[in-house]
Structure 1
Amino acid sequence: MTILSSVAARRASAAGLALTACLTAAPAAFASAGTAPMAQPAAAPSEAGLDRYYQQRLDWRSCIKGPDDTTGRDLEKAGAQCADVTVPLDYADPRGRTITVAISRLKATDTRRRVGPLLINFGGPGGPALGDPPEMRKAMKDVGARYDIIGMDPRSVGRSTPLDCNWPVGHSIYSAGADRESFDRQVALHKDLAAKCRAANASLLPHISTRNTARDMDVIRGALGERKISYLGYSYGTYLGTVYTQLFPGRYDRMVLDGAIDPRRYNPRLLRGVEKENEQALADWAAWAAKRHDAYGLGRTRAQVLATVDRVVNASARGLTVGTGSDSFRLDATQVPTLIFGALSSDTDSARAEFGDQVSTMAKAADNRPAPLSPEFKKTLQEMLTSKNSQYGSAQTAILCGDGAAPRDPEVYWRDIERSRAAHPLFGPLTNNIGPCAFWDRPREEPTRVQHDAAALIVAATGDTRTDYEGGRALHGMLPGSKLITVKGANQHGVYLEYGNACVDREVNAYLATGELPAGDRTCAKTSG
């Protein structure tokens, strides 16, 4: 379950979380910052012991790892190459253990107007991006040819030095369910998930964090031989970009942050507060599905479709079996709300149609009728309910828990669940539920504080169901040099190149081509041409 990014959901094969100056070599931010101000004098690489990382020569080679490596073949076909960047596991001990961060590079073809490297991140947290430069180059059209597009699997993700908690499930985002007994089972589950992760990755876990990923990004910049690097981040990737601009002011060029997070609200419970946006998105989808009753059989009015959803959720308290034979799955009231939540990150027809198929299948199961699975729904359930997606869920959770502390007392969560249940009966028990971070070791560093301005271009949709619109506005306010593009009326998380909105694509491409932000903030209609 990708918490934040619909973009990452497709790329990470999960059901569906970057900001922005004197060029210095290795800032004091590499040390554990605690609560000290971040605007500190920079240290030379030799002083910090990081020169061997910044000055390493990258071994560019074929991206193909084996005969079944479709990602590698696609990269090779596009002309991309791959390399492993060596970074310290612990930046406070640069002479200690090292790990590798896997990157790909699709070099600029418009060399006369080349801007430099553009590093991309699609959120998650924990979403891989090594395989994405060819798709991005194509989607960006002419402006993409001016950049060396850099795909990165962040530390602990994908082809980088991996972290895997060996979980029996693919993620840790579930609803508390209908009652205290269900919540108590959730407490036991998440305590066990945390214990499994600690047992399997004791030496890695303390160093999996957004701050360390940002430090890795700067090593990548140095190893590429570049003074500055541009960045395109979606969802959680906007927070990663924010952290980079604060740790390394002056080392970024053009910065696009789509689906932005208010960094003051970023913590392991970051889903709290998006209940209303998801309720609205569900109601809007229900109106869409009502017009397609012949296809999905969910009701001919919005109210009837929403009643069908309620019936499915209520039936899940007793258990729903979807699929047939060996392809069957048992769903309960902690899982069905998660499926619904995961389907609401986009209001495109294709996303709504996939959700329609899921609800139709679960409605048949609720009526004790045969409920065969489409290939897409089967894949979603495999990744959610089996160990198939353990590495992705492990990395996502490790990043969140490594970035900020969560309450330790289960009673805090139970009180929040009960308070939210009356107003938000479907989503409140999910967004307020306990998770593994309640049982994690405390983060080694304090969260990053925004103390430097950044001339970023921020994109935000008013109906974003993952990072609400207020988060984009808040980030814009914290960065006075930024500009904000607002998409009115869209229940969409991730807009640029993802939504087919010509207005947004035009504004962002113009900025990436020229480096000049719009003269003022912009508003694009949902269906802008």
Structure 2
Amino acid sequence: MLGGVGHPVDGVECATVIVPMDYRNPGNGNLEIAISRKKATDPARRRGVLMTNPGGPGGSGLGAVHWFNAQTDVLRVYDVIGMDPRGVGRSTQLRCVATRSDDEFPSRPTDSQLSNWSEYARAVEENCQRGGGEMRRFVSTMNTARDMDVIRGALGEKKISYVGYSYGTQLGAVYGSMFPARLDRSVLDSALDPLKTWHEQDVDVVDAITDNLRKWTEWTAARNGTYGLGSTAAAVRGELDAIAAKLAAGPYGGYADVTSFDYAVGATRYRRSWAAFSRHIASIKAGAADPGEASAIVAALRRGDIEPTSAGTYQAVVCEWDWFTDVNTYYNDMKRWRDTNPYGGTVDYMAPTNCTFRAFTRPETIPAITREYPAGIVVNSDGDTQTPLANGRVMAGHLNQPLISVSNDGQHGHYALRRNACVDALVNKYLVAGILPASRVTCAGTDIAETVPPGAAAALSGSSSRPLSDVLAEIAAETKPF
């Protein structure tokens, strides 16, 4: 049932849709789902609705209708639909009781500290169960897909087209598997791997973090004349290790501890930060680091990493996947990454989560991902650490769909978000005219490293001399919620 349609503001209408909390038992209460709509600007050419999801799980999607403002051809022919999924934002919210901890969660934990993660995760699950009640069991990808189909019916559409980002690619793949006759064109941007559990994909994440660090060390080594950090990747990595060793003994280079430094090294994900990060490490090596720069770097990275999710939804949805229940499985992986590459916060990704201690019985499991609908497009970049390229390759291969690989780019989410003319042109041609790209095509990324010639010492441009914290703050300001 569609109700509460409001007057358009900036060309966007808002409404609510009433759906069952439990589709198998519709008498067990209803939920409200908030949606937004930006109507096609050329009604004579209109070909339907384009539903969207920003990911999360638990990202608010009402504002996603504005992400396509520059895609004029798409806006001419589609009503773009945004949605706050069940549990999120202006829809009926799922909440957790807040969990606090006085324990430490260092990037290089001792063996005795490993249990801090499991104790905290167990408490989070208990508090989410306390706060979520009966609703928690029914906040799932499958029920969100059913909500989408109710919205389709309420709008009077026989089919939908779809653009989903990050976790939204899983949602799109599940919707297509459950309602293949009702999915027309689909774009899965920054895709998950449909054949792996959430935790198995975390292994791909730490591999991507490690690969980005390796690429930065190679880039910096080729510019030893400028940065003086060594002429080989191993030598550059050694400079990081030397700083970390000093931080193990106390504050150094503006960093309070080695954990904050390890997280700062995660900046190597973004090619745009490489020159500034190399200068930053060189300044620490020379004993000339700005005392306030380190804290500004950590703050900028935290702004970019804030989870834009409604409390409770993420912790429910990710429990759809199976998780190991033996904490020692996690501890062994944590120790391995602690000892080989703790940079970028890899240990956290290997730790137990609330789903390790799942307190509710899943009403259903994730359906097998199949495709009996028209071919769509998958988009992934080679430096993304949230949804690594390896995941996108499997999604594209499993669905037998074209893959657009964005090269030399650490950003997350590309179509309509990054002003990538190559990606936008290929996706727009598909959404508007149904023309698929080549089965495998590469677009150059927009996350471009500063121009610092390799070889002898190079004069740095004005942009290259910007503090790393400024570069990271700029990236965080541009990052869309996923």
* Residues 370 and 231 of structure 1: CA distance in aligned 2, closer, same or farther (over 3 Å): same
Q: Aligned partners of 1:491, 1:239: CA distance in 2, in Å? A: 21
> What residue identity is the alignment partner of 1:415?
N
Indicate conservation of the 8 Å contact 2:87/2:310, yes or no: no
Give the TM-score normalised by the residue count of structure 2.
0.77
- Which residue of 134, 151, 160 maps to 2:91? 160
Q: Deviation per CA, 1:167-191, whole angstroms, max 9, x where unpaired?
A: 3579xxx776332122111121111
Indicate conservation of the 8 Å contact 1:168/1:390, yes or no: no
Give the TM-score normalised by the residue count of structure 1.
0.71
Q: Aligned partners of 1:395, 1:494: CA distance in 2, in Å? A: 21
Alignment pair present for 1:394 and 2:315: no
Indicate conservation of the 8 Å contact 2:52/2:162, yes or no: yes
- Which residue of 376, 381, 390 maps to 1:461? 381
Q: Aligned partners of 1:102, 1:163: CA distance in 2, in Å? A: 14
Q: Deviation per CA, 1:286-312, whole angstroms, max 9, x where unpaired?
A: 56789999x9x9968776764565466
- Match in the other structure for 1:476: 396
Q: Aligned partners of 1:354, 1:163: CA distance in 2, in Å? A: 41
Please list every run of 5 or more consecutive structure 1 residues that lacks an aligned counterpart in the other structure.
Answer: 1-55, 64-75, 324-328
- Match in the other structure for 1:81: 13
Alignment pair present for 1:278 and 2:209: yes
> What residue identity is the alignment partner of 1:472?
G
- Match in the other structure for 1:371: 292
Indicate conservation of the 8 Å contact 1:476/1:484, yes or no: yes
Q: Deviation per CA, 1:29-79, whole angstroms, max 9, x where unpaired?
A: xxxxxxxxxxxxxxxxxxxxxxxxxxx23321158xxxxxxxxxxxx2x21
What SS does the corresponding residue of 1:131 show, helix, strand or coil?
helix
Indicate conservation of the 8 Å contact 2:60/2:88, yes or no: yes
- Match in the other structure for 2:435: 516
Q: Aligned partners of 2:293, 2:16: CA distance in 1, in Å? A: 43
Q: Aligned partners of 2:328, 2:62: CA distance in 1, in Å? A: 41
Deviation at 1:86, TM superposition (A): 1.3
What SS does the corresponding residue of 1:272 show, helix, strand or coil?
helix
The worse-fitting range, judged by mean Cα deviation, of 122-131 and 370-379 is: 370-379
- Match in the other structure for 1:211: 142
What SS does the corresponding residue of 1:255 show, helix, strand or coil?
strand
Q: Aligned partners of 2:247, 2:136: CA distance in 1, in Å? A: 35
Superposed counterparts of 1:289-438, under 5 Å: 306-307=237-238, 309-310=240-241, 333=259, 337=262, 340-341=265-266, 343=267, 346-347=270-271, 349=272, 370-371=291-292, 378=299, 381=302, 392=310, 394-401=312-319, 403-426=320-343, 428-438=346-356
Q: Aligned partners of 1:273, 1:177: CA distance in 2, in Å? A: 20
- Match in the other structure for 2:156: 225
- Match in the other structure for 2:168: 237
* Residues 115 and 430 of structure 1: CA distance in aligned 2, closer, same or farther (over 3 Å): same
Indicate conservation of the 8 Å contact 2:85/2:91, yes or no: yes
Alignment pair present for 1:147 and 2:78: yes
Indicate conservation of the 8 Å contact 1:175/1:433, yes or no: no
Q: Deviation per CA, 1:126-185, whole angstroms, max 9, x where unpaired?
A: 2112112123222x2322222111111111122211122243579xxx776332122111
Q: Aligned partners of 2:275, 2:38: CA distance in 1, in Å? A: 34
* Residues 423 and 372 of structure 1: CA distance in aligned 2, closer, same or farther (over 3 Å): closer
> What residue identity is the alignment partner of 1:90?
D
What SS does the corresponding residue of 2:184 show, helix, strand or coil?
strand
Q: CA RMSD in A?
A: 3.9
Q: Aligned partners of 1:499, 1:462: CA distance in 2, in Å? A: 15
Q: Aligned partners of 1:505, 1:421: CA distance in 2, in Å? A: 40
Q: Deviation per CA, 1:391-429, whole angstroms, max 9, x where unpaired?
A: 54532222111x112112211111232344454443652
Q: Aligned partners of 1:246, 1:228: CA distance in 2, in Å? A: 14
What SS does the corresponding residue of 2:114 show, helix, strand or coil?
helix
- Match in the other structure for 1:107: 39
Deviation at 1:118, TM superposition (A): 0.8
Q: Aligned partners of 2:164, 2:404: CA distance in 1, in Å? A: 15
Deviation at 1:239, TM superposition (A): 0.7
- Which residue of 406, 409, 414 maps to 1:495? 414
* Residues 135 and 390 of structure 1: CA distance in aligned 2, closer, same or farther (over 3 Å): closer
Q: Aligned partners of 2:442, 2:181: CA distance in 1, in Å? A: 30
- Match in the other structure for 1:94: 26
* Residues 419 and 379 of structure 1: CA distance in aligned 2, closer, same or farther (over 3 Å): closer
Alignment pair present for 1:526 and 2:444: yes
| Matched residue count | 438
| Percent of residue pairs identical | 34
Superposed counterparts of 1:192-207, under 5 Å: 192-207=123-138
Indicate conservation of the 8 Å contact 1:166/1:391, yes or no: no
Indicate conservation of the 8 Å contact 1:119/1:149, yes or no: yes
Q: Aligned partners of 2:106, 2:170: CA distance in 1, in Å? A: 25
Indicate conservation of the 8 Å contact 2:55/2:166, yes or no: yes
Indicate conservation of the 8 Å contact 2:209/2:346, yes or no: no
Q: Aligned partners of 2:403, 2:308: CA distance in 1, in Å? A: 36
What SS does the corresponding residue of 2:387 show, helix, strand or coil?
coil
Alignment pair present for 1:186 and 2:111: no
Q: Aligned partners of 2:188, 2:368: CA distance in 1, in Å? A: 17
What SS does the corresponding residue of 1:211 show, helix, strand or coil?
helix
> What residue identity is the alignment partner of 1:432?
M
> What residue identity is the alignment partner of 2:325?
R
Indicate conservation of the 8 Å contact 1:165/1:390, yes or no: no
Q: Aligned partners of 1:150, 1:458: CA distance in 2, in Å? A: 20
Q: Aligned partners of 1:499, 1:259: CA distance in 2, in Å? A: 13
> What residue identity is the alignment partner of 1:461?
S
> What residue identity is the alignment partner of 1:197?
C
Q: Aligned partners of 1:197, 1:268: CA distance in 2, in Å? A: 20
Alignment pair present for 1:451 and 2:387: no
